[in-house]
Structure 1
């Protein structure tokens, strides 16, 4: 069994692993009565395990004293709940605040998928062996920086690649894919990438990743659009509700895999058809598809865990 950083129980199954397409499933188990059980609790634990690193962008920090670990967790959860979208969804799902739900319906927040970034962070760390370059929460929580940007900013040391990721969490897979394509068109252009590289360079000054100075030099030396495109990967994660967990009890069963692959290939064709970005042949895009049993169920479970983490 592969050793993982956050998904200690290996409940995330990598099913399709190709250069431009990855797919994942949540593993199944049995309960105390021997009935099939979707591993929702283990899955949400793995996602929440990423929160301190996601918030502070410190992929290794062995110097944290034991008596500070709980406080570090509390701070990380608190940082996330200072973000507007997390607050609104929490009030709606946990506090049953109808006004918060009305606000969500009037905004674009509900369409984003409030936990998609955490899951993307987890998948990049576990399956692409990246490390976080900067804290995305810093951008969202800062009054001096616009609350927009790539959903993940990671690097892979060996290949010297900058990973600029996008994520969506939807009930409908095709709507999520269309939203990802829209992000591609808005983000892969000269002005947007120039802005993002400037933000990344600025915040590398406060970062302790290995070879930090070399990354600063790399970012600064990429003056042309073509130079930037040569050093980036664009992982695009769509997490969506799917019925595979109702149809099959074992995600490793050959029939389950066949059913899964047919659906994934169809969505990849849909993505390719929708993607008319002029620079698509110059960008290394990895479509990452992750069907879950129920998107709302996942979000509610995550909010409950995050809320308890904040109050430990």
Structure 2
């Protein structure tokens, strides 16, 4: 993409760019003290900047009146924290609330609100040129549970491609990949896709996003499993802690590139070897790998920014 929507300062480096594999890095800099500087604050800002669009599908009408901007930001942040799992994670990361810690320990890893879906939203928008088809935040039940199903539901506006994405944010990359493979098995089968297509159609009928009527028609006419799979791209994002930022201060050097590619290729090989999906040859999976310096530090920074946005 020539012009990024959220990562305007090009903090995120696209390194490997292949049909079934993309890898990303956070661009290093130097600080005022002359030491290597890892721009975690800037990265967190890029991710948090997605929230108004993620919540409101703001791409429909980007010209928000100046008098409404603060209120819209506050409302968007508040909507995220209405989702119970996000608030539980905030209470633990920012307040060290032991009750929240107990809730997290009893919570399925797939249900933890840790911002992976926001980063996936950013990457698809900035690097794949997609737009969200529905807003998951607006389709949650009364208990504050986000809409079940995929972490992102996007489309390519100039093509008939539906992007159904999954994301994981882990300390360990291999564990993240393992859980993506579980999602692949559980979510890409006849029953689950039929259910999700019905949910998407229902949400579209109550929305006014671009190409609404066209996509309702497409989804209504798509009954066979083969038809569904042929129109779907499956971006699977694993964001994980990695030591490359400690080992190298300049990620453009050949040694750093080799170090990064070795890690990425190992995870991709592991993904391919462990992928036992019976429809494997029909699924257009794109593995997105994004090592960060420290997953926990990033989540804390994101909660801090989101909490402040709610209070502005």
TM-score of Structure 1 vs Structure 2, range by shorter chain = over 0.9
Mapped to 1, the partners of 2:129 and 2:266 lie a distance apart of: 28
In structure 2, the partner of 1:196 is 196
Say whether residues 1:242 and 2:242 are aligned partners. yes
The Cα of 1:280 is off from its aligned counterpart by: 1.1
* TM-score (ref. length: structure 1): 0.96
- Note the residue ranges of structure 1 that are not aligned, 5 or more in a row: none
Report if aligned partners of 2:133, 2:155 keep a CA contact under 8 Å in 1.
yes
Query: Equivalent residues in 2 for 1:274-285 (5 A)?
Result: 274-285=274-285
SS at match of 2:87: helix
Distance, in Å, in 2 between the alignment partners of 1:231 and 1:135 is: 20
User: Retained in 2: the 8 A contact 1:94–1:304?
Assistant: yes
Deviates more, 1:302-311 or 1:112-121: 112-121
For residue 33 of structure 2, give the secondary structure of its aligned residue in structure 1: coil
Counterpart CA distance in 2 for 1:264 and 1:88 is 32
- Aligned counterparts, 1:158-177, within 5 A: 158-177=158-177
Q: Which SS does the other structure have where 1:197 is aligned?
A: helix
SS of alignment partner, residue 138 of structure 1: coil
Give 1:139 deviation, angstroms.
3.0
Query: Cα distance 1:167–1:144, how it changes in 2: closer, same or farther (>3 A)?
Result: closer
Shift of 1:251: 1.4
Between the aligned partners of 1:76 and 1:144, the Cα distance in structure 2 is 14
Match of 1:220 in 2: 220
1:6/1:50 contact within 8 Å kept: yes
Alignment partners' CA distance in 2, 1:146 and 1:186: 18
Summarize the Cα distance change of 1:143–1:186 in structure 2 as closer, same or farther, 3 Å threshold. Answer: same
The whole-number CA distance in structure 2 between the counterparts of 1:15 and 1:299 is: 23
* CA distance, structure 1, for counterparts of residue 156 and residue 17 of structure 2: 17
CA distance in 1, matches of 2:139, 2:238: 22
Secondary structure of 2:259 counterpart: helix
Equivalent residue number for residue 39 of structure 2: 39
Aligned counterparts of 2:255 and 2:183: Cα–Cα separation in 1: 34
Q: What residue ranges of structure 2 are gaps of 5+ in the alignment?
A: none
Superposed displacement of residue 110, structure 1: 7.3
Confirm or deny: 8 A CA contact 1:112 1:168 kept in the other structure. no
How many residue pairs were aligned?
A: 312
CA RMSD after TM alignment: 1.7
The Cα of 1:99 is off from its aligned counterpart by 1.1
